[in-house]
């Protein structure tokens, strides 16, 4: 039996993208929630909950992009031109968002400008990621190893829905993170925002889940034919269970990590749901994991590095989070 | 103007613009990270407070530069897919894993320890903090290693076969990574980064010495920078010469463009100045030294050098841009070496800190490293044209099937956003450089918590005021 390298890499890239969604999700979410906090000291606290880690979080996006180029160059070279506009806008938005972490401390007069740069950058980047995801799910037209669709193919009601859903989802992740990292007034307000966002997110997950199977007959068959349905039926139930855990966590304030963890569960379940729809495709509607994969010589070479290095990366990333554990409070010295 | 309606040209312009902006930041952070590690080590060994004062002065500048390097770098990792999708599809199996290693070994390392380096002094203690600084410095070097392996493979490809579907399939990774131009390009670029940083540090030290020649941190900066410049600038010239000989062996058309030679000849002249005219196939208004070109490149007076006419017109790089960028780089390199020697002379006379002439010269050459780095990259990248993968894949076949409106509007977006955002960042860097080193900055109105240590940069400051 030989090792199925393309499959391993598909899983690895899926995990890298999920890691990105979760990690950068909460710090983009903080950017989305930013305008709700008007006082300067509140904004300082919000920013400082992620300042030491945002850079590492965003590196998973580079790993997702770079890994896709290495392992699935065909997918990379089809998906990126197909989602050209949302990706370019996302990159520009991430630029505004990323520099704000440093720039807002370097000026007094322009601090407000960089606060807006942080907020709008986070919001637009999230929206574009969600739209890009929707654009991918609804399928990409390919002729002769290249994108063959039009300039506006990515912009549909469905992709707008996924964009909006991701904004709500990241905002909820951000609220959950802030519940863990802050106290008193900021925390109180995050509990309130999280209730509203939680309800909205579950509704949106429901809407996307119901819509997706009707985009493509393959998706429909995957979810609603026997025997698949025995495996897919528990998915909505698990989503409801996570939603219940979220609701409980928002009412029982002794367990501060629960809202964040329950939101993570919602993300992971939605992501698995996507995986169920996609399997075995890399680029819907036609290109499979094996068709898109690089030759084994490339996959094997990078796999050695990934197997050795990813545990080390996880260890020191975990260590960095551990160093900056605990509440960020404006009275307690942070550094 | 015709060129502006050509999507391939615009895609090239976009890559050149985004990478040209990007390279400035890592060229500075590679050197600065190592400088910070050295300063912190000196502080730990000697316990002299002045090293920590210099460290603090540059740490904030490093943080701002690094943030700009990160965001402009993410753009680069997506440019290959958005604008060069055919290249990505065909060359991805070779260049992709190398960039994957860059992310796994370098980017995570830098990002993981940057937070500790910027904010963690109080939480982890001195020893671990130094380890974090050293990790960040090592990460910046590893990043240069992998990305230069990619670029060098595109210049001097080997170790692969071309599959039926057009993909470049790696056969020997050692051959791919250690391709013929890689060692030269790596050493040349890393030295360039050190030299660039030394010039900036020297200029900032000189600026403060001009106002107060007794300022201790400024003296440390200026002295260290002058040592570094005199040590690296001459070495860089020698390494550059070896790099040029390597290019002659593997990419003779690039050398012909650099030299402005159209005719193949023995005893070829060295053009100091001139205007290579690709239409007329000759270098106009040339000011030449006979036979010196052959002597430098072949080490023989009568050595033969190929001219651009040896290649069909469609296989030649555009000569004027390569020719002039090369002269800008070399000219600045010579000035840097002279500055280093001048610093040595004044130091020998015991007047290193007392010479306004030397200090003004150091300030004038402060940005020279950046200009030379960009000029050097123009030489090597434009000199590789009309290929993306030298001799094997043309630039015109590499581009994405994106129409003119898409490439043009994204290009405008990048230009507007980069000038606005990075313009502001560079302004902040200048302001940080202008602060008198060693003086605790007054807390600014409306931001009283800054000295309480809740903000990124000044947090370090607060740590050390309260700590050791």
**Does B459 contact A70 at a Cβ distance shorter than 8 Å?**
no
- pTM over 0.80, yes/no: yes
**Does A309 contact B99 at a Cβ distance shorter than 8 Å?**
no
Q: How far is CA B457 from CA B147, B164, B291, B463, in A?
A: 29, 54, 56, 11
Determine, yes or no, domain membership for A278.
Answer: no
Tell me which of A52-56, B181-185, B256-260, B455-459 is least confident. Answer: B455-459
Q: Which two tokens stand for residue A188?
A: 């109180």
Determine, yes or no, domain membership for A146.
Answer: yes
Determine, yes or no, domain membership for A23.
Answer: yes
Question: What SS3 state is found at B393?
Answer: strand
**Does B424 contact A66 at a Cβ distance shorter than 8 Å?**
no
Residue ranges per structural domain of chain B: 182-400, 441-468
Q: What is the DSSP string of A12-44?
A: HHHHHHHHHHHHHHHHHHHHHHGGG--SHHHHH
Residue B178: the pLDDT is 95
* Nearest chain B alpha carbon to A109: B446
Q: Model confidence over A174-210: pLDDT tens digits? A: 999 999 998 888 898 999 999 999 999 999 999 998 8
Count up the domains in chain A and report the number: 1
Measured CA to CA, the distance from residue A154 to residue B10 in angstroms comes to 23
Measured CA to CA, the distance from residue B70 to residue A97 in angstroms comes to 12
Residue B448: the pLDDT is 35
Q: What is the DSSP string of A69-114?
A: HHH-HHHHHHHHHHTHHHHHHHHHHHHHHHHHHHHTTS-STTHHHH
Q: Model confidence over B71-104: pLDDT tens digits? A: 888 888 888 888 888 898 899 899 999 999 998 8
Residues 24-83 of A with CB under 8 A from B: 40-41, 44, 48, 51-53, 55-56, 58-59, 61-63, 65-71, 73-74, 76-81
Contact (Cβ atoms closer than 8 angstroms) between residue A249 and residue A276: no
**Does B100 contact A63 at a Cβ distance shorter than 8 Å?**
yes
Q: Model confidence over B98-151: pLDDT tens digits? A: 999 998 898 888 888 888 888 877 788 888 899 999 999 999 999 999 999 999
For residue B406, give the nearest of A101, A151, A317 by CB distance: A151
For tokens 């903080």, the residue is: A30
**Does B167 contact A295 at a Cβ distance shorter than 8 Å?**
yes
Q: Count chain A–chain B contacts defined by CB atoms under 8 A.
A: 285
Measured CA to CA, the distance from residue B200 to residue B120 in angstroms comes to 26
* CA A189 distance to own-chain centroid: 23
Among B178, B44, B151, B56, which Cα is nearest to B95's? B151
Measured CA to CA, the distance from residue A241 to residue A236 in angstroms comes to 9
Residue B465: the pLDDT is 34
Residue A329: the pLDDT is 63
Residue B71: the pLDDT is 86
Instruction: Examine the pLDDT at B447 and tell me if it is beyond 50.
Output: no
Task: Give every residue of chain A whose pLDDT is below 50, as ranges.
Answer: 331-335
Residue A232: the pLDDT is 83
Q: Model confidence over B370-425: pLDDT tens digits? A: 999 999 999 999 999 899 999 899 998 888 887 788 888 888 988 998 898 899 98
Residue B120: the pLDDT is 76
Measured CA to CA, the distance from residue A124 to residue A62 in angstroms comes to 18
Residue A60 or residue B457, greater confidence:
A60
Determine, yes or no, domain membership for A309.
Answer: no
Residues of B in contact with A84 (CB under 8 A): 82, 400, 402, 406, 410
Question: What SS3 state is found at B273?
Answer: strand
Instruction: Examine the pLDDT at B462 and tell me if it is beyond 70.
Output: no
For residue B413, give the nearest of A88, A107, A298 by CB distance: A88
Residue A154: the pLDDT is 86
Give the pLDDT band (50/70/90) at residue B1: low
Residues 78-137 of A with CB under 8 A from B: 78-81, 84-85, 87-89, 91-92, 94-96, 98-99, 101-103, 105-108, 110, 117
- Its domain, for residue A24, covers 5-213
């Amino acid at each position: 039996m030989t090792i199925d390298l393309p499959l391993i890499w598909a899983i690895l890239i899926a995990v890298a993208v999920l890691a990105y969604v979760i990690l950068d999700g909460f710090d983009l979410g903080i950017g989305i929630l930013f305008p709700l906090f008007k006082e300067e000291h509140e904004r300082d606290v919000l920013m400082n909950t992620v300042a030491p880690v945002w850079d590492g979080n965003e590196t998973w996006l580079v790993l997702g992009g770079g890994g896709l180029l290495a392992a699935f160059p065909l997918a990379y070279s089809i998906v990126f031109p197909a989602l050209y506009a949302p990706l370019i806008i996302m990159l520009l938005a991430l630029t505004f968002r990323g520099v704000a972490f440093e720039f807002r401390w370097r000026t007094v007069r322009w601090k407000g400008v960089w606060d807006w740069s942080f907020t709008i950058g986070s919001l637009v980047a999230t929206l574009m990621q969600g739209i890009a995801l929707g654009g991918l799910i609804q399928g990409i037209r390919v002729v002769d190893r290249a994108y063959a669709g039009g300039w506006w193919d990515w912009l549909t009601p469905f992709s707008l829905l996924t964009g909006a859903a991701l904004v709500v989802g990241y905002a909820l992740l951000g609220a959950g993170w802030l519940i863990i990292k802050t106290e008193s007034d900021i925390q109180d307000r995050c509990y309130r925002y999280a209730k509203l966002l939680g309800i909205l997110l579950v509704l949106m997950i429901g809407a996307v889940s119901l819509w997706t199977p009707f985009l493509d007959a393959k998706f429909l068959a995957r979810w609603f034919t026997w025997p698949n349905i025995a495996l897919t039926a528990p998915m909505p139930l698990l989503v409801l269970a996570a939603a219940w855990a979220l609701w409980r966590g928002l009412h029982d304030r002794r367990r501060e990590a629960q809202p964040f963890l329950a939101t993570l569960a919602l993300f992971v379940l939605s992501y698995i749901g996507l995986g169920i729809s996609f399997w075995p495709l890399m680029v819907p509607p036609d290109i499979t994991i094996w068709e898109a994969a690089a030759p084994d010589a490339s996959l094997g070479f990078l796999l050695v590095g990934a197997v050795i290095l990813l545990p080390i990366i996880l260890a020191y990333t975990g260590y960095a989070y551990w160093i900056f554990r605990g509440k960020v409070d404006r009275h307690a010295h942070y550094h | 103007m015709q060129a502006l309606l050509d999507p391939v040209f615009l895609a090239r312009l976009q890559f050149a613009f985004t990478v040209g902006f990007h390279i400035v930041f890592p060229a500075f952070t590679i050197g600065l990270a190592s400088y910070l590690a050295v300063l912190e080590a000196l502080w730990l060994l000697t316990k002299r407070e002045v090293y920590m004062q210099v460290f603090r002065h540059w740490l904030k500048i490093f943080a701002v530069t690094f943030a700009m390097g990160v965001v402009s770098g993410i753009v680069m990792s997506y440019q290959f897919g958005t604008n060069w999708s055919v290249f990505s599809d065909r060359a991805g199996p070779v260049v992709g894993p190398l960039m994957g290693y860059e992310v796994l070994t370098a980017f995570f390392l830098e990002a993981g320890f940057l937070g500790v380096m910027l904010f963690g002094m109080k939480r982890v203690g001195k020893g671990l903090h130094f380890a974090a600084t050293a990790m960040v410095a090592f990460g910046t070097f590893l990043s240069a290693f992998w990305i230069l392996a990619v670029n060098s493979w595109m210049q001097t490809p080997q170790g692969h076969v071309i599959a039926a579907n057009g993909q470049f399939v790696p056969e020997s990774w050692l051959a791919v990574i250690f391709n013929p131009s890689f060692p030269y390009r790596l050493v040349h670029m890393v030295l360039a980064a050190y030299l660039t940083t030394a010039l900036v540090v020297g200029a900032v030290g000189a600026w403060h010495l001009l106002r107060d020649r007794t300022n201790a941190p400024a003296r440390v900066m200026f002295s260290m920078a002058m040592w570094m410049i005199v040590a690296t600038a001459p070495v860089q010239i020698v390494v550059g010469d070896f790099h040029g000989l390597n290019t002659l062996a593997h990419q003779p058309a690039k050398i012909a463009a650099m030299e402005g030679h159209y005719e193949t000849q023995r005893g070829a002249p060295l053009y100091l100045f001139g205007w290579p005219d690709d239409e007329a196939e000759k270098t106009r208004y040339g000011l030449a030294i006979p036979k010196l070109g052959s002597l430098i490149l072949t080490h023989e007076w009568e050595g033969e050098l190929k001219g651009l006419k040896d290649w069909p017109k469609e296989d030649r790089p555009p000569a004027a841009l390569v020719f002039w960028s090369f002269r800008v780089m070399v000219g600045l390199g010579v000035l840097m070496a002279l500055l280093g020697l001048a610093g040595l002379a004044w130091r020998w006379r015991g007047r290193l800190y007392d010479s306004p002439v030397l200090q003004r010269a150091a300030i004038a050459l402060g940005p020279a490293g950046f200009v030379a780095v960009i000029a050097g990259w123009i030489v090597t990248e434009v000199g590789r044209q009309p290929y993306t993968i030298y001799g094997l894949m043309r630039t015109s076949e590499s581009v994405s099937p994106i129409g003119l409106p898409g490439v043009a509007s994204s290009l405008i977006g990048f230009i507007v956003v980069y000038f606005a955002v990075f313009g502001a960042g560079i302004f902040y860097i200048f302001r940080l450089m202008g602060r008198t080193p060693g003086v605790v900055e007054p807390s600014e109105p409306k931001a009283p918590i800054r000295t309480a240590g809740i903000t990124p940069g000044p947090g370090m400051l607060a740590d050390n005021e309260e700590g050791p």
